[in-house]
């Protein structure tokens, strides 16, 4: 008897499914896409209804041959690639390759890799959804046209080797516009005034000045602040009003792709790409020892907060048993569907309530466990009772002045027992805010004597730079990209060196600013936030069958090609506009030197090119990379100088290339692990800074936080690390005992 063939994308998923289905089935992996548009040509016939030409990916010939042979030997073929647009397109390609007799080919969807999830999928075989395939083909064709047509334009105007993308370029635009806002920002001075008061038979407390003569205070300089402080000291104050009310906080919905990426970035410091890689592993299956390979979470590319009835029933029983009846709402909580949600899959949740984080911890590495625990806690918390607080507001009045203290006291923690969300993001009183600590025995009408008046200078802050988390959040809000593309968007602009990541913040590079400016100025109607969002909406109409491939491609292509034809003739002028004249003359031919763009950034070149090919680094780059540091080369005795490399700065011999000796730049801290090497600054391939041992790979010490040469007073660890948060600002932390310190001006950050 011949077996039925099941084709999935990944070998690990194939292994898990094969365990559940047994000997009647043969489960094989396609290892992702088997076809793609050709590398050497456009592959989209714009004159023939945008017909696409797909070729077998180089290296996948053996996979296709094996799948075809197995399909011929099987009585039925079930294609179980991922349950999304990309998976549907892979399924279509596989179906075309393995068998023209489509009557024995079925499409099955596994939303979770568990016995129940697989049984449900196998019980409901379908035909391949042509609308979903067309939607994916349209997205792919759009991206190919933009990349294939605009990339040569970027080569002509900036330099050869750059590239552009439809959605990625819009994301770059957002980052560059934020960078411009930050650079143009002019801080404005303002002052706040905090009063320390003491009522009769009560502890002193702090309150903030909120009104002067009935209006919001506007204190713009120290002279004005001092005037108010002196006048306030003359007034007699009393408790004018005390307001108490119960405030409820609802739990957040279960995770969707974007919110998982955001929370994993904020709490775990994972990149979007790493989050999705780990989530993929949790979805496809983890070896739990005696229980075998188990998919621990549902499908991780989703925009829906919907939960199945079975999952809700199971988690409600768990909450009742683990926390008690008071933590369980009377009715299951249903979350509002987002405007752009397609609701094709459930939210991201654990596949079984029996697989608690504690139960699976020994089978997961540190990062997998951290992400699973995050998903678990969010899922459980979303079906728990609200948290309630008593919010207290106290007004203290005297003369024309009103001060206010506000605080909240937990009455019932509810879902916070499981998932304690970040308080400052919810606008609740910060525990470190002195005005949030209010004595319990205050009464209206009590006299409140002034103990101290504290004026404090502030300056307005520029807009915050994007992080991966906040960029994904804005892309989702603007309707740009889909759950499956967020991680790729961020990775692409980082890999192209249009953006750099430092301390989790995204900085537009000079190159990124130039490329974004050219694209926005010359393709305003195509690389436009609203237009890109509109194209996403149209792609969804293709997926739902309300629109067709050709119409959507027409809506995209005609305005695009019109813009391209117009600006392509101006490429030479645009390139010239990027060049800067200098007062320096060429040492070879005497013609003026100009500043141009190249692979390694800006440089000076002779204006007589191509007859004269003289080039040289910019003066500031020369100074930066040739800085003599007073250290002698251990090999030849020459001066060691600071140079820049792929993974950051280092010391190189000034006699290069005769002497190729190099050494890392020490931070003045001995490695705490091996006690022999020095802690040095390095960069990852994606330009993220980290700190490691100079004896690597013999010593694997690494820290994402910058070490500071200051001994911990508690455990005597020889160094601390710099940390920052919205709640605490900048502070120092001992990596060993976790003791925290206010960052001292005398501490040497090395």
Q: What are the tens digits of pLDDT across the range 5-41?
A: 999 988 888 888 888 887 888 999 898 889 999 888 8
Same domain (yes/no): 417, 437: yes
pLDDT in tens, 129-161: 999 999 999 989 998 998 888 888 888 888 887
pLDDT at 620: 64
φ, ψ of residue 327 to 5 degrees: the values are -90, -5
Rounded Cα–Cα distance for residues 368 and 387 (Å): 29
CATH at residue 283:
1.10.290.10
Residue 607 within a domain: yes
Number of C-beta neighbours around residue 592 at 10 A: 13
Residue 318 included in any domain: yes
Residue 161 and residue 73 in one domain: no
Looking at residue 655, what is its pLDDT?
Answer: 76
Active-site option among 299, 327, 372, 419: 299
The answer on 354 and 319 residing in a single domain is yes
Q: Looking at 459, 494, 510, which one is the last position of a domain?
A: 459
Residue 472 lies in a domain: no
Residue 404: which H helix or E strand, with range? Answer: strand 401-412
- 12 and 124 within one domain: yes
The answer to whether residues 679 and 666 touch, using CB atoms and an 8 Å cutoff, is yes
In a domain, 694, yes or no: no
Do 122 and 149 share a structural domain?
no
CATH of the domain at 149: 1.10.460.10
On whether residue 81 sits in a domain, the answer given is yes
Average pLDDT of the residues in 714-734 = 78
121 and 17 both lie in a single domain? yes
pLDDT at 426 over 50: no
Residues, the chain, total?
750
Residues 350 and 285 in one domain: yes
User: Domain range holding 328?
Assistant: 268-382
532 and 566 housed in the same domain: yes
Nearest CA-CA partner of 197 in 232, 168, 249, 227: 232
Counting the structural domains of the chain, the total is 6
Query: Is residue 428 very low, low, confident or very high in pLDDT (cuts 50, 70, 90)?
Result: very low
Does residue 20 lie within any of the structural domains?
yes
Looking at the fold, whether 109 and 175 belong to one and the same domain comes out as no
Q: What is the CATH number of the domain that holds 111?
A: 3.40.50.140
Tell me, yes or no, if 609 is annotated catalytic. no
Residue 523 pLDDT exceeds 90 = no
Mean pLDDT of 511-536: 85
Which has the closest alpha carbon to 5: 114, 93, 95?
Answer: 95
Could you tell me if residue 214 is inside a domain? Answer: yes
Query: Are 104 and 21 in a shared domain?
Result: yes
Which of these three, 459, 489, 508, is where a domain ends?
A: 459
Q: With residue 291 as reference, give the H or E element that holds it.
A: none
242 within domain boundaries: yes
Domain identity same for 113 and 210: no
pLDDT at 3 over 70: yes
Residues 436 and 344 in one domain: no
**Mean pLDDT for the chain?**
85
Write the CATH number for 199.
2.70.20.10
Domain end (from 334, 362, 382): 382
């Amino acid at each position: 008897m011949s077996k039925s063939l099941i084709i999935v994308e990944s070998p690990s998923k194939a292994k898990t499914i094969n365990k559940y289905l047994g000997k009647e089935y043969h489960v094989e992996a396609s290892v992702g896409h088997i076809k793609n548009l050709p590398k050497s040509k456009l592959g989209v016939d714009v004159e023939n209804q945008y017909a696409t030409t797909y070729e077998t990916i180089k290296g996948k010939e053996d996979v296709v041959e094996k799948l075809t042979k197995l399909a011929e030997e099987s009585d039925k073929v079930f294609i179980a690639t991922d349950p999304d647009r990309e998976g549907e397109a892979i399924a279509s390609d596989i179906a075309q390759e393995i068998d023209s007799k489509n009557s024995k080919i079925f499409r099955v969807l596994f939303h979770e890799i568990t016995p129940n999830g697989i049984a449900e999928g196998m019980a409901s075989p379908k035909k391949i959804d042509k609308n979903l395939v067309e939607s994916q083909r349209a997205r792919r064709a759009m991206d190919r046209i933009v990349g294939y047509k605009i990339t040569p334009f970027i080569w002509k105007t900036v330099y050869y080797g750059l590239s552009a993308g439809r959605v990625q370029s819009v994301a770059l635009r957002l980052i560059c516009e934020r960078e411009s806002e930050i650079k143009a920002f002019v801080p404005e001075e303002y002052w706040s005034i905090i009063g320390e008061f003491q009522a009769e038979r009560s502890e002193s407390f702090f309150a903030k000045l909120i009104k002067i003569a009935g209006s919001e205070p506007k204190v713009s300089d120290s002279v004005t602040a001092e005037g108010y402080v002196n006048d306030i000291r003359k007034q007699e104050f009393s408790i004018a009003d005390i307001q108490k009310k119960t405030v409820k906080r609802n739990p957040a919905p279960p995770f969707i792709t974007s919110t998982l990426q955001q929370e994993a970035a904020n709490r775990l410091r994972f990149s979007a790409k790493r989050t999705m890689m780990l989530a993929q592993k949790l979805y496809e299956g983890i070896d739990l020892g005696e229980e075998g390979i188990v998919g621990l979470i549902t499908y991780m590319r989703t925009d829906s907060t919907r939960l199945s009835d079975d999952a809700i029933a199971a988690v409600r029983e768990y909450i009742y048993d683990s926390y008690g009846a008071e933590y369980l709402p009377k009715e299951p909580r249903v979350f509002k569907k987002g405007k752009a949600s397609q609701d094709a899959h459930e939210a991201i949740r654990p596949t079984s309530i029996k697989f608690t984080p504690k139960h699976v911890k020994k089978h997961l590495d540190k990062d997998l466990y951290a992400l699973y625990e995050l998903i678990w806690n969010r899922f459980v918390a979303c079906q728990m009772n609200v948290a309630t607080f008593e919010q207290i507001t106290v007004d203290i009045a005297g003369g024309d002045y009103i001060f206010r203290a506000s605080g909240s006291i937990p009455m019932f923690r509810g879902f916070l027992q499981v998932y304690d969300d970040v308080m400052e993001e919810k606008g609740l009183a910060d525990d470190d805010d002195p005005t949030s600590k209010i004595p319990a025995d205050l009464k209206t009408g009590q006299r409140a004597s002034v103990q101290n008046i504290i004026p404090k200078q502030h300056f307005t802050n520029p807009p915050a730079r994007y992080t991966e988390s906040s960029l994904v959040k804005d892309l989702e809000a603007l309707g740009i990209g889909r759950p499956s593309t967020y991680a790729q968007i961020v990775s692409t602009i980082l890999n192209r060196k249009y953006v750099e990541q430092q301390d989790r913040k995204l900085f537009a590079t000079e190159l990124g600013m130039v490329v974004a400016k050219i694209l926005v100025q010359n393709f305003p109607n195509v690389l436009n936030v609203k237009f890109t969002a509109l194209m996403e909406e149209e792609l969804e109409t293709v997926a739902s069958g309300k629109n067709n491939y050709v119409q959507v491609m027409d809506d995209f292509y005609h305005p695009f090609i019109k813009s391209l034809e117009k600006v392509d003739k101006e490429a030479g002028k645009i390139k010239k506009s990027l060049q800067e004249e200098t007062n320096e003359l060429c040492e070879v031919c005497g013609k003026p030197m100009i500043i141009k763009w190249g692979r390694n950034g800006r440089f000076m070149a002779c204006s007589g090119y191509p007859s004269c090919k003289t080039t040289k680094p910019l003066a500031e780059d020369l100074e930066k990379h040739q800085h003599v540091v007073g250290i002698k080369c251990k090999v030849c005795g020459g001066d060691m100088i600071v140079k820049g490399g792929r993974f950051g700065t280092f010391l190189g011999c000034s006699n290069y290339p005769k002497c190729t000796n190099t050494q890392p730049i020490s931070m003045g801290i001995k490695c705490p692990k091996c006690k022999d090497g020095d802690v040095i600054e390095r960069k990852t391939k994606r330009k993220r800074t980290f700190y490691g041992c100079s004896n690597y790979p013999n010593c694997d010490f690494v820290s994402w936080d910058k070490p500071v040469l200051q001994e911990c007073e508690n455990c005597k660890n020889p160094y601390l690390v710099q940390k920052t948060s919205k709640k605490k600002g900048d502070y120092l932390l001992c990596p060993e005992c976790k003791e925290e310190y206010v960052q001292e001006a005398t501490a040497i950050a090395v």
